[in-house]
Structure 1
């Protein structure tokens, strides 16, 4: 099985190359696509179909750590705004998206959800995560998260 076929299991067994940090409630991962640089995802440590299926105390911690991941993204890329999104419509497991929105985005998308971007933005090889293109951003996010973990 390839790591991306089960992102949570591969994060747990150490084969998910996108993991930046293991937090208390989940794994912070850099997004496969970076058309919005800094795009990250928080994966829970166990699979849940939805946020409502997660035990209450763990749910609180997961949501709090989602905002910590947002703080890390904000520190790394200085966005105009952060968007948080938990959907589960396409991937039927709980995961939280953190998108850094910028004033430099195309005007037709700037005030809309990121899902309004055409498919090409999501799958274009120029936007695919590579260490060469986006490693410095990833390192800043990871450093922030490691400092958070060290202080808690």
Structure 2
């Protein structure tokens, strides 16, 4: 779909690409207020897990799990948050957010209050992506 921001994201933000799996794309979220915040989104424009057949659904969840596990190994968070909302962007996508007891919004949801975005400088962004890619290869 041309009007869907998730359908365009992989193509429009190549500097944030982490990996392409069989069923999903993985990108670093530009705002790194929450260190390691990563997006995993389906290649196909679907809005719900139940729109996928059982085999594909299982494979998608395994891809999400692989990314969450890699983020956990890199950042060692207190808790990994998995957000699958789609209210504002109706394309199946997960916000994987490593959370720490010392983050400013702990233990509240990341959406509980606005914050100033914290984009990484280009080199720091490339380094973070490199770390995640390496963790996914292990």
Answer whether TM exceeds 0.5 for this pair: yes
- Structure 1 residue runs of 5 or longer lacking an equivalent are none
1:92, distance to aligned residue in structure 2 (A): 1.0
**Shift in CA distance, 102/19, structure 1 to aligned 2, threshold 3 Å:** same
The 4+ residue runs of structure 1 with deviation greater than 6 A are none
1:139, distance to aligned residue in structure 2 (A): 1.1
Correspondence 1:28 to 2:32: no
> In structure 1, which of residues 102, 105, 113 is the aligned counterpart of residue 109 of structure 2?
113
Measure the CA separation in 1 of the matches of 2:120 and 2:60: 25
Correspondence 1:135 to 2:126: yes
1:9, distance to aligned residue in structure 2 (A): 4.2
**Shift in CA distance, 90/137, structure 1 to aligned 2, threshold 3 Å:** same
- Structure 2 residue runs of 5 or longer lacking an equivalent are none
1:43, distance to aligned residue in structure 2 (A): 1.0
TM superposition score normalised by structure 1: 0.79
Deviations 1:51-94 (A, max 9, x none): 22122211111111111100111122121110111000111111
Matched residues, number: 136
TM superposition score normalised by structure 2: 0.86
Residues 71, 132 of structure 2: 8 Å contact kept? yes
Residues 21, 29 of structure 1: 8 Å contact kept? yes
Aligned position for 1:48: 46
Measure the CA separation in 2 of the matches of 1:140 and 1:45: 23
Q: C-alpha root-mean-square deviation of aligned residues, in Å? A: 2.2
Which protein has greater RCO, CA pairs closer than 8 Å, 6+ apart?
A: 2
1:1-152 maps to which residues of 2 (within 5 A)? 6-11=5-10, 14-17=11-14, 18-106=16-104, 109-118=105-114, 120-121=115-116, 124=117, 127-145=118-136, 147=137
Residues 26, 43 of structure 1: 8 Å contact kept? yes
